[in-house]
Amino acid sequence: MIFPFGYLRPRSNVRTINIGRTCIFTNANITMTERRHEDMDILSLSAVELGKKIKAGEISAMEATQATLAQIEKEEPRIHGYVTVDAQGALKQAEEIQGKIERGELTGPLAGVPAAIKDNICIKGRLTTCSSKILSNYKPTYTAEAVEHLQDAGAIILGKTNMDEFAMGSTTETSYFGPTMNPHNVGHVPGGSSGGSCAAVAARECYYSLGSDTGGSIRQPSSFCGVVGLKPTYGTVSRYGLVAYGSSLDQIGPITKNVEDCAAVLTAIASWDKKDSTSVKREDYDFMGSLKADVKGLRVGIPADYFTEGLNKEVAEAIRAAANVLKEQGAVVEEFNLSLVKYAIPAYYVIASAEASSNLERFDGVKYGYRAKDYEGLHNMYKKTRSEGFGAEVKRRIMLGSFVLSSGYYDAYYLKALRTKALIKAAFDKAFENYDIILAPAAPTTAPELGKSLGDPLKMYLSDIYTVSVNLAGLPGLSIPVGKDEKGLPIGMQLIGDHFQEKTLLRAAYTYERVTGKEAR
Amino acid sequence: MSKQYETVIGLEVHIELATKTKIFCGCSTEFGGAPNVHTCPVCTGMPGSLPVLNKQVVDHALAIGLATNCHITRVCKFDRKNYFYPDNPQNYQISQLYLPIARDGWVEIETGGVKKKVRIHEMHMEEDAGKLVHDEWDDTSLVDYNRSGVPLVEIVSEPDMRSAEEVIAYLEKLRHIVQYLGASDCKLQEGSMRADVNLSVREIGSDAFGTRTEMKNLNSFKAITHAIEGERERQIELLEEGKQVVQETRRWDDNKESSHAMRSKEDAKDYRYFPEPDLVPVMIDDEWIARVKAREPEFRTAKLARYQKEYGISQVDAEILTESRNMAELFEAATALCKKPKKVANWLMVETMRLMKEHDMEPQDLRFSPENLAGLIEMTDKGTVNSSVAKEVFEHVFLENVDPQAYVKEHGLATVNDEDALRKTLEEVIAANPQAVADYKGGKEKALGALVGQTMKAMKGKANPGRINELLREML
């Protein structure tokens, strides 16, 4: 195979497929076979509950897949959570997996359960667009490590979910394919960048999904959509096959209806992968054992410096109320000052943009993806391809990142940001000397209205204040629904743990969920 | 020219390391093959792929760093060098800027009997780019990523060289060190060793450096020598005319034997280097260094001195024998067996070199064992075979690594030392060549040679020509 690219004259035979701004169904005519169960019942099950019923022979993987595809067909016009849905492929997988389950070859809790994958995670031969025009025709030649683990666990992959372009954004409005709507109120955004993954779970268009989190991209939309989302400790889930945004910050994580599913999906995808040099070999990869409703003596710290004027009152009250629930269960809850809070946003945007500016250089129209139609010479081809192929937010971050890495500015911005990152990590280390968990909001507000955020990027960046420092410090963070505001929009509580303390987070979240009965159904 | 000028030269040398797989993926580094067959998602820059460092690359780089007296960076890191070009699939090259593996070393060179140290500023590891193929006919360009990700080290010298001769001596020195380490074959023509020349001129006696230019695309020692001489003259001419030398990168054209400006300092790219976030730092501990040091061979400089002292081999011969580690080791092993260093040296420098040339082979291609060479030498010493038979046998040793004793026996090539048989043959030859006999008796010494030849022919070469000569004189 040779990668052809002409640069001496414009080429007319450009290799792109134009796929408009709508969701693609590779098989739009889904014919439903007879259903023995009410779809409502099937769809309201959690992933683990469904897995059990499939194993027990009460529901088949095919039935679950058909029910979910029907739900997708019904909800997508309203939600637009997916970039692509492969109905035919999903039905074929369901048939194969059902056979393996019946033969006893697949016995895990997720076997036969339909799932969705964020569109920046590669699946061989299937469109992986990162919700960008520049990758609108891109089909990877290999499958991401995390997805391979899910496939090994018997997941049925329904499709790829919508996101902010290259995971840059907090609303899923920067997608080339148009925004995703919040299932709780379609006049509002689902958050971002994993907005499609979170909305799909909330709208029961899948049982769970994978998202990626660079500065809050799993936790914030999980909070906005009323689902459980976890960003694992950096190095826990292989990044191999995740299209990089900020390499030193990116982590893939589960988005689920409840805490049990979260533990099950994390158990499936976490691994030590030699293909990812930043992957960490952990002592234990079974997170199911942490599901105990017991927080007696758990030391919970609430950063007082997070509860400032920027935090919405309703959100603040909901978080304090949730903290009280843990306290009533025997946790020791107190406030403290985390410090350095205001430095997290600038440090994050310098580091993430710098890495992004380099990571996105490979999208140049030479090897794959979109290429401008008319150009003269190589440099003109680069310029036109990238000018036409990237959206405004991506361009803004590429320019910001290129600037902070320029000679003469490197020390003043990039190096300073790295030092700030180290200080923030030290502040967390100090906090974890006194607390097992840090309890905080996931976002300062509930989901904003559609169309209200992109006009003021700086304001949008500032809304990441409670999530970005967790990425800078490489810590695990979990978002769990704790209530709704007066408009009916979900509020999420963020639990932050020390490195490798996912089990502590899952235990606290599980306790909260058991006591309050607040689960997405 | 009224003023006297001095040339100041520093080199940036790229060496392709001899690993089986690429620096950041498991693809083969094998040369040739159809375009893009030795590729994978990593070395073609597919989205989501990640680099994993090949430890063998660090091993080789470490060995070179230690052999060139460098300080080893115990915690070394990789950085990204960002620039757009289609041969570079990610549009950044993974290299080292801030914490390269080795720094502050030196090697000693010798020119015209004068020894001198050339300091090494630093050495870093990096990945090679792919290859562009321009199709003039189709008006398009194609890219082949088979070479993308092949490991390189770049060795940057201080501006310590003052002539083309010193530059060549420095390159030869590096080449011998690296080849002896088995870290690369260092072939300039094939691009496994590439040198960029940084050159400036200044008035003799001046401490300040002049403005320098960088010369690229130098594919042979000849090109390097010509480029240095040409650039020195060009710069002096500019200064003599009262003009300025422009800091720029120049490209050498081997056909035109001249260089032209590629880009000036003003166009210099901002590579926006920053630490590669996909790789973790390389920790080099004492144990690793000790392990590499323990594998270090005796280098050429040491061998040169020892061969003269221990074996009584001349400087010139020692230089030939130590040109490659393989040849030197063959020499030492065969000598240890037969204890005849000069004879071993002779076989290697004459017959071996001749056959290598004839078969277009490099020293590293030599396959015959020292035991078989030593065995052949012993057979000639004992007179079991004469010298012309020995040459014939050696050709088979050289090509097929045959056991000379078995080969001689099998083909009946042993010298006939039966005096009676020899006398009988001589009588027949004398009888059959009356004219030659008459000529010899008439004072023509040459005629004796013809008779020896006839006798050798009659005995199918299996006789000792010296003894034939003696017997003939006696009999006539």
Q: How many CB atoms lie within 10 A of CB B290?
A: 9
- Sequence-distant (6+) residues with CB within 8 A of B262 are B216, B248, B249, B250, B251
The answer to whether B141 contacts chain A (CB < 8 Å) is yes
pLDDT in tens, B135-164: 888 888 899 999 999 999 999 999 999 999
The answer, yes or no, to whether residue A281 has pLDDT greater than 80, is: yes
Neighbour order of strands in the sheet with B140-144: A3-5, B140-144, B131-135
Tell me if B69 sits within 8 A of B119, measured CB to CB. no
Chain A residues closer than 8 Å to B48 by CB: 120-122, 128, 140, 144, 239-244
C-alpha span between A93 and A85 (Å, rounded):
13
**CB atoms A4 and B35 under 8 Å:** no
- Residue B55 β-bridge partners: none
Contacts of A98 (CB under 8 A, 6+ apart): A54, A60, A61, A62, A112
A248 touches chain B (CB under 8 A): yes
Parallel, antiparallel or unpaired: strands A114-118 and A208-213: parallel
Longest Cα separation, chain B: 94
Active site residues of A: 118, 193, 217
Per-window interface: A 160-219 vs B, CB < 8 A: none
pLDDT above 70: percentage of residues in chain A = 92
- Judged by a CB distance cut-off of 8 A, whether residue B225 touches chain A is no
Residue B118: predicted pLDDT? 98
Predicted pLDDT at A520: 66
A121 touches chain B (CB under 8 A): yes
Inform me whether the pLDDT recorded for B78 exceeds 80: yes
Report pLDDT for A12: 35
Question: Which residue among B46, B141, B277 places its CB closest to the CB of A5?
Answer: B141
| B48–A121 CB contact, under 8 Å | yes
What average pLDDT does the segment B305-315 reach? 94
Taking CA–CA distances from B143, the nearest residue in chain A reads A3
Closest chain B residue by Cα to residue A120: B48
**Residue B267 to chain A, least CA–CA distance (Å):** 14
Mode of pairing for the β-strands spanning B114-127 and B258-264: unpaired
Position B456 pLDDT exceeds 90? no
**pLDDT (tens digit, 9 = 90+) per residue, B209-238?**
999 999 998 989 999 999 999 999 999 999
Q: Reduce the DSSP state of residue A115 to 3 states and report it.
A: strand
Q: Convert A315-348 to b/e letters by CB count within 10 Å (16 or more is b).
A: bbebbbebbebbeebebebeeeebebbebbbebb
Domain B419-475 of CATH type 1.10.10.410: yes
CB contact under 8 Å between A9 and B139, yes or no, is: yes
Find out whether A181 and A450 touch, Cβ atoms under 8 Å.
yes
pLDDT band at residue B267 under the 50/70/90 scheme: low
Is B243's pLDDT higher than 60? yes
**Mean pLDDT of chain A, nearest integer:** 92
Taking the C-alpha atoms of residue B6 and residue B236, their distance in angstroms, rounded to an integer, is: 10
The percent of residues in chain B predicted with pLDDT above 70, rounded, is 98
pLDDT surpassing 80 at residue A32: no
Q: Nearest chain A Cα to B34, which residue? A: A1
pLDDT in tens, A303-355: 999 999 899 999 999 999 999 999 999 999 999 999 999 999 999 999 999 99
CB contact under 8 A, A361 and B279: no
Q: What is the pLDDT of residues A364-411, one digit of tens each?
A: 999 999 999 999 999 999 999 999 999 999 999 999 999 999 999 999
Torsions phi, psi for A119 (to 5 deg):
-75, 15
Calculated CA dihedral for residues A305, A307, A308, A312, nearest 10 degrees: 160
End-to-end CA distance of chain A: 48
Could you tell me the pTM of the whole model?
Answer: 0.89
Distance between CA atoms of B46 and A368, rounded to whole angstroms? 9
**Using CA atoms, how far apart are residues B405 and B411, in angstroms rounded to an integer?**
10
Tell which CATH architecture fits domain A47-279+295-516. Answer: Alpha-Beta Complex (3.90)
Q: Are B47 and A122 a contacting pair at CB < 8 A?
A: yes
CA distances from B359 to A26, A84, B365 (A): 62, 62, 10
- CA angle at A300 for the pair A294 and A304, rounded to the nearest 5°: 155
B461 vs B229, higher pLDDT: B229
How is chain B split into domains, by residue range? 5-289, 298-411, 419-475
Express each pLDDT in B16-28 by its tens digit: 999 999 999 999 9
Q: Report how far residue A412's alpha carbon sits from residue B369's, in angstroms, rounded to the nearest whole number.
A: 63
pLDDT digits (tens, 9 = 90+) for B358-396: 999 888 888 899 999 999 999 888 878 888 888 989 999
The average pLDDT across B36-46 equals: 97
pLDDT in tens, A499-510: 999 999 999 999
More confident residue, B32 or A498: A498
Q: Is the Cβ of B149 closer than 8 Å to some Cβ of chain A?
A: no
Question: What's the length of chain B?
Answer: 476
In total, the C-beta contacts within 8 angstroms joining chain A to chain B are: 126
**Beta pairing class for A82-85 and A156-161:** antiparallel
Peptide bond into A469 cis (omega under 30): no
Angle at the Cα of B436 from the Cα atoms of B431 and B441, rounded to 5 degrees: 100
Nearest CA in chain A to B277: A248
pLDDT band at A18 (very low <50, low <70, confident <90, very high): very low
Q: Give the 3-state DSSP-derived string for B198-241, with helices as H, strands as E and coil as C.
A: EEEEEECCCCCCCCCEEEEEECCHHHHHHHHHHHHHHHHHHHHC
Q: For residues B420 and B471, what is the distance between their CA atoms, to the nearest angstrom?
A: 11
Which of the two residues, A372 and A521, has the higher pLDDT score? A372
B331 touches chain A (CB under 8 A): no
- Judged by a CB distance cut-off of 8 A, whether residue A82 touches chain B is no
H/E segment holding residue B132 = strand B131-135
Across the range A440-457, mean pLDDT stands at: 95
Nearest CA in chain B to A361: B91
CA-nearest residue of chain A to B53?
A277
Residue A462 in this model has a pLDDT that exceeds 80: yes
pLDDT at res. B306: 96
Count, residues in chain A: 521
* B41 and chain A in contact, CB less than 8 A: yes
Band the pLDDT of B429: cuts 50, 70, 90: confident
| pLDDT confidence of residue A28 | 38
Is A6's pLDDT higher than 50? Answer: no
Choice between A16 and B406, residue whose per-residue pLDDT is larger: B406
Q: Is the Cβ pair B82, A248 closer than 8 Å?
A: no
> Quick one: pLDDT at residue B446?
81
Q: Which of A255, A207, A118 is nearest to A128 (CA)?
A: A118
Contact between A239 and B44 using a beta-carbon 8 Å cutoff: no
Mutate to test the interface with B, among A120, A243, A247, A361 (most CBs of B within 10 A): A361
Task: Give the residue-averaged pLDDT of A267-295.
Answer: 96
Tell me which chain A residues have a C-beta less than 8 angstroms from the C-beta of B278: 244, 247, 277-278
Least CB–CB distance from A241: residue in B35, B48, B274:
B48
Distances (CA, A) of A103 to A98, A99, A100, A462, B57: 9, 6, 5, 52, 47
pLDDT value, residue A8: 34
- Residue A197's identity, in one-letter code, is S
| Residue B264 confidence (pLDDT) | 75
